[in-house]
Structures are given as C-alpha cells and as structure tokens.
A and B are shown apart, each in its own frame.
Chain A
Amino acid sequence: GAVVSQHPSRVICKSGTSVKIECRSLDFQATTMFWYRQFPKQSLMLMATSNEGSKATYEQGVEKDKFLINHASLTLSTLTVTSAHPEDSSFYICSANRVTHNEQFFGPGTRLTVL
C-alpha cells in the first residue's frame, strides 16, 4: 500500500528557533502534497498545497513567510516553521496525493511543542 512518512514524529524547541518537518512518500510519486495542522481535540485545517517544482499555495490566513514549504522532489516535501512561538505548538500532518488513485495518503503526524 501507499506509505507516507514524517520526520521527526515529535520535536520540542525553544521559542525563536526554526523547525523543519519532512514528509516523504515512500513507495509512490506525489506531485501534490498537503500540509495540515491540528489543535488538540479539533479537526484538521489545511495550511497549504505543495506542488513539486513550483511555489506552494497557502490557505487564507496562513503566513507563507512563517511556514515555508519546499517540494524538492516527487517524494519529498518539507515544512519549516520559522521563528517558532508557543502558539505554533500543534500537530502537523502531511498527505500525499497519488495520481492514479483519487485518495490522499496521510503521514503519521509531527507533534511540535514550542517552549
């Protein structure tokens, strides 16, 4: 089956530092990946759509300079939270769209805690 991995699974950082989260499709190519954030006991909110070889498309209200997205290859997208603050603490989940199937495959998520 299609597998999407995320690294790291958990990260704790100090306020003001930057954190990079990787999302990889392990056994298929993904021209499009999506980044979501989820606060405790809440739903997933789409942050941005990551397209291989082009700039990401951000949802309304998401700061593109704070959440940098790079889709370097057909199997890797990265989300960098720049100058992280405690309010950025959240669960970040990526998903990858396999073109041959009308289905998104989700990564296991990354728990970010900013102290």
Chain B
Amino acid sequence: SQQGEEDPQALSIQEGENATMNCSYKTSINNLQWYRQNSGRGLVHLILIRSNEREKHSGRLRVTLDTSKKSSSLLITASRAADTASYFCATDTGFQKLVFGTGTRLLVSP
C-alpha cells in the first residue's frame, strides 16, 4: 500500500496545550497537504506545503516538511476544544491524486 502513516493514532490533550502530529510517506511528492475532518463530515483543507518548502505557517498551524526523511509534522498551538477532529495528511504525487495518511484523532478537553 502507498498509504502514508500518521502518529500518534490518537492524541488527547487539554485546552491551551500544543498538539503535534506526524506523517510519513513513501514516494516522491509534489506537495503535502493537511486536512481536518469532524466526525462523519467532509474534509476541510488546512494547509499545503510544496516539496521545495520546509516550513509553513497559517494562524495557529505550523507545518514542516522533510523530504529527505519523507515526513511532515503538523503543530497546532494553543489548542481549543473546537480543534477536536481527525487530521489527515495527504500527498500529491502528481496529477492531483492524493494519497491519505492513516489519520490522527485529536481530542481537546476543556
């Protein structure tokens, strides 16, 4: 399977803490994207990082990419209860086909 892997599978933290999720993938990529999914809902695009970029910020989100290790991380700072969701990385290897990681279920408690 070409599917990427994420860890941890599940993460439980308190409001205000930071949450870090890691993604590893197997093939060369054009870009890597992070998505959020609330239970039983569609996906919301969070951030895209290109293969020639190493770090990107968007609000409370910070994404890093290490193409030599084929890995990426998503950091959510000062988490809120509303951040509770599943987070998926997805790699674009060309032709806009996305291969999703296994996902991290984040629970942020008030």
The answer for the CA separation of A93 and B31 in the assembled complex, in Å, is 21
Q: How many chain A residues touch the partner (CB < 8 A)?
A: 24
| B42, A32: Cβ atoms closer than 8 Å | no
- Which residues from A are CB-within-8-Å of B100? 36, 43-46
The SS class assigned to the B binding surface is strand
Give bound CA distance, A43 to B3, whole Å: 9
Interface residues of A, dominant DSSP: strand
Please tell me if the beta carbons of B101 and A46 are within 8 angstroms of each other in the complex.
Answer: no
A83-107 interface bits toward B, Cβ cutoff 8 Å, 1 = contact, 0 = none: 0000000010101010000111111
Interface residues of B in 6-61 (CB under 8 A from A): 31, 33, 35, 40-45, 48
Instruction: Give every chain A residue within 8 A of B42 (Cβ-Cβ).
Output: 6, 93, 106-109
B31 contacts which chain A residues (CB < 8 A)?
A: 102
A residues lining the B interface (CB < 8 Å):
6, 32, 34, 36, 41-46, 49, 91, 93, 95, 97, 102-109, 111
